[in-house]
Amino acid sequence: MSDKSENPLEKFEEFVSAYEPRLRRALVTRFGTEEGRDATAEALAYAWEHWDSLQAVANPLGYLYRVGQSRSRKRELRVVFLLPETTEHDFEPKLPEALRKLSEHQRLAVVLVHAYSWRVTEVAELLGVRPNTIQNHLARGLRRLRKSIGAEHEE
């Protein structure tokens, strides 16, 4: 009887369970909800098609992030953070527009670290840069957000 972990489909399902939520959050942060989910699906389809070679990749999350980014390039749109229809918000109403104005790397750093509780090292690994670079994007992004929403005095 063969070992369950040797079944490629089961190994892939375990991989998806472990990586899909983080990949989706990163790509949704980059492209917006609909495009981010499409990019995630594209990246996971690629992962299945290239499953044998993907297992040798040192940073599969970062690799698939780049795949999702590349496959979405043809339909890349500005990220739009829509406000809910309700008049009551659990967040600063100016935040979606302020996030849209950040650079891609600043927005990724701020949202992944502060909204999804990623560590700076995890974001750095995803983007293939040094943690210090992410710290800089994070500090600059937070500074720009505070200025955009008029919260500079809270620093």
* CATH code for position 58: 1.10.1740
**Average pLDDT score over residue span 30-45:** 92
- The answer to whether the beta carbons of residues 19 and 64 sit under 8 Å apart is yes
Same domain, 10 and 67: yes
Same domain, 56 and 109: no
Count of the separate structural domains present in the chain: 2
Can you give the pTM of this predicted structure?
A: 0.66
Same domain, 102 and 144: yes
Report d(CA 149, CA 92) in Å as an integer.
8
Does a structural domain hold residue 116? yes
Same domain, 17 and 71: yes
- The answer to whether the beta carbons of residues 37 and 24 sit under 8 Å apart is yes
Tens of pLDDT, residues 50-85: 999 998 999 999 999 999 988 776 554 455 555 556
The residue with greater pLDDT, 133 or 3, is 133
pLDDT band at 48 (very low <50, low <70, confident <90, very high): very high
Inter-CA distances, 88 with 2, 76, 80, 83, 102, Å: 56, 31, 19, 10, 24
- Look up the CATH number of the domain holding residue 129: 1.10.10.10
pLDDT, the chain, mean = 84
Q: Structural domain of residue 121, as residue ranges?
A: 95-154
Q: What are phi and psi of 6, to 5 degrees?
A: -85, -15
